[in-house]
Amino acid sequence: RFAQWAKRTQPPLGGTSVLRQSIAVPEDIGEQTVRLVRAIDLEGYSEVEFRRDGAGAPHLMEINARLSASVEVAVRAGVDFPALLYQWACGGPIDEVKAYRVGNWMRYLEGDVVATVEALRQRGRPGVAPPVPAIAGFLFSFFKPMGYDYLDWQDPLPACVAALNFVQSRFSGR
């Protein structure tokens, strides 16, 4: 089991998590989630998403039985879901993960840039950060220790390609 918190998403009112943090599995949904997944007879990996209302009550949004783009926060926190899924698919023993690092931040920078611009365009909409907090949150995120999607100093090429593609798409009008 693993839990993450999506601090920012693209689009701003819900979508891909562009700034996320590994968190402890919340007590009010942990066991309930396990029972739900078992009741519908899912095997292997599944991502169960909840949203909290203004009072903090959790509401089930969706269940996905596929790896999401945000899986890297789990891997960097110590839960290597792709490797575990491979072990499961091969029918061999599956490594037990007893704990993971809580508080790890991951950022999808291209998505965070777009989310911040969208927050400015959608100013005044309920649930969308006002302009000053949106810009401040984006900028202050650079001062937090965090990992970046696609960026691994041992293999920087994917990050370079992603940055180049982003710049080209913005200037070519795609």
Express each pLDDT in 4-21 by its tens digit: 999 998 887 778 899 999
The CA–CA distances, whole Å, from 154 to 23, 33, 130, 172 equal 26, 36, 38, 30
Residue 61: Cβ-neighbour burial (10 angstroms; 0-12, 13-18, 19+)? exposed
- C-alpha to C-alpha distance for 61 and 21, rounded to whole angstroms: 19
First to last CA, the chain: 39
The CA–CA distances, whole Å, from 91 to 42, 84, 85, 87 equal 16, 11, 10, 6
Angle at 159 between CA 156 and CA 163, to 5 degrees: 140
Q: Which residues contact 78 (CB under 8 A, 6 or more apart)?
A: 97, 99, 100, 101
Length of the chain: 174
Express each pLDDT in 104-157 by its tens digit: 999 999 899 989 999 899 888 887 889 999 999 999 999 999 999 877 788 888
- The residue ranges of every structural domain in the chain are 3-172
pTM of the model: 0.83
Express each pLDDT in 41-98 by its tens digit: 998 899 999 999 889 999 999 999 889 888 999 999 999 999 999 999 999 899 999 9
Superfamily of domain 3-172 in CATH is: ATP-grasp fold, B domain (3.30.470.20)
Angle at 112 between CA 80 and CA 164, to 5 degrees: 85
The dihedrals phi and psi of 113, each to the nearest 5 degrees, come to -60, -50
